[in-house]
Structure 1
């Protein structure tokens, strides 16, 4: 039966290539590109055509004009297929296209095809159910990532580079301090979206023996792991930058920062479990990933107490004043009298101490993950992503 499916798949690929070659060349249709897409997403589950994958990536990097033909070909291929092999290869290929950082690909918005309800139509449903689930999870992440790139990556300086909107706003704040609040709110939104991406990534994992040892799923997991390192590193860096400025923000924004930190801590625990699964199935070597440290619950509780303190607003407004003149009394809030200046100074020191504890932890995460992410990219994104 396997031999018959393999022969049938090869015939389908040959027929598709023949049709592509006789098709009329148009602005959105290029027979050479379409043929390469078909061969890169062939039906052979034990063979990955790295040569044609490399050709597609090179074509995209050479000219943005080719992106329409590439998207047309991959959309046509993914829309028609009922094979989990073709679907998974198409998703891996799409993932690599995003990694090429071609502006026109990063601006497509939602993916031009839909695999959210994908079901393999050529094999026993009982055997391919885990495959279908994996593909649907992978598609959900890539669709969300494509939307994120469209909404939160903007042109920067006459096509000289591409940078997230929060960084663009932050850069403009160097010349305009009045926009600090806007910058921090935007950074919060971006961090939340990154945390959403990480949630979707952690769902993508093989769950049965049929998928655990399969080379195609291992290749997909390698791509996902690199993405996990990258996204989690960005989350840690964003939270670290935010917490360094927490003393200058309003209470609502500080509470938002606390929620983000709590979620990131929870995600760190889930990440440790995810890496453990990857190590068990042989995808990840123990030395390949950093030790995921989490913020101590006691530190989070102290930060929560500080943020929820009734005097938060007074401390924010008068903190600099206290450092210069410890003899001047702090403004009363509502009708509560502050006990003493020494007590308030101690409270201020406690807040700064919490800032040091939390931001140091996240900076450590960011540095460690960035280094490992680069190592993983060198080791595992060849040949599919870095070609």
Structure 2
């Protein structure tokens, strides 16, 4: 059931737009009993890697036997998959039940945006219906004024700071870092994978003001790549050897290291004994759809939501290492508020041909406009992403790879179509 179907069934009205600020959701959560204050939360923000970091931490905590709630955005395929407990998505019936409760508490008059409603549902679902041991909450946009930033977590994570959503968060690294650092709460530990001096200084300043212990990669903990796609983790108190991951690329080792540091801080807080089997097993079980996801093995079709400059850099490096002997065909689409020229420029370093496309979303860039930015010698555009996908798939063979990348919303559309065609749920 789509979000539109839910709207029609329970007859409520929301604004489908970005409208940063906390007043609306704070007032509404008070009406429904402040469920955000009834659960333990790890709050995860950052420009890139927050979803993967979340999945690694989820895997490890579930391996301990905990009941783990997850709220992420955007959806992989359906609105339900943004909300899960121990890997099981919220059902249509549960969503409708929550909205009916919310309606009795003035939902129709609250003026919530779609994301604010989803956030409120997540808190209520985890606190009241599922009663989870821990909830992992991913920031939607920025942090300081994001609707998830209405509770005091047990731990905060800022993966990194890059140029993203510059129309909403500012154009400089310092301005964007200011928004990300807004999730730091008084006395709550903060872990960060940021090492750029300007952004790191902003995060450190916020942590100092809030008297929050801070832990930075390459300073308080680190990793070392080993042979055979394994790595080791080191911190002042812990060393773990022979770690392996289910997700590919060195940037995922960075994300996993943040999750490992979080695991050690959490078990120390909860006075739980360290278990190496739990840690290693949980990391291997982490799954993150749409992040270097190989949806077809031969010939390979890869989906990756590299939605900004830094993510595109990481993706291109991974593709170059893994498929250096293959022809690379790219299908790309992006949102208008992204650094499209820089993303396309990075893609062109590995692409043998590029098809630019668009999709049905208010902020989606037109395919023709993206194509005009490109300097690639073999480029074309198709406004209809379905036709673009059909063209791209028709051109791959045994010597080639199809890389579908760009906006996470675009990847969601592609993933839904491809998995339906293969008979998957």
TM-score range, shorter chain: under 0.3
Q: Give the TM-score taking structure 1 as reference length.
A: 0.26
User: Which structure's residues are more often helix, by fraction?
Assistant: 1
Larger radius of gyration: 1
Q: Give the TM-score taking structure 2 as reference length.
A: 0.24
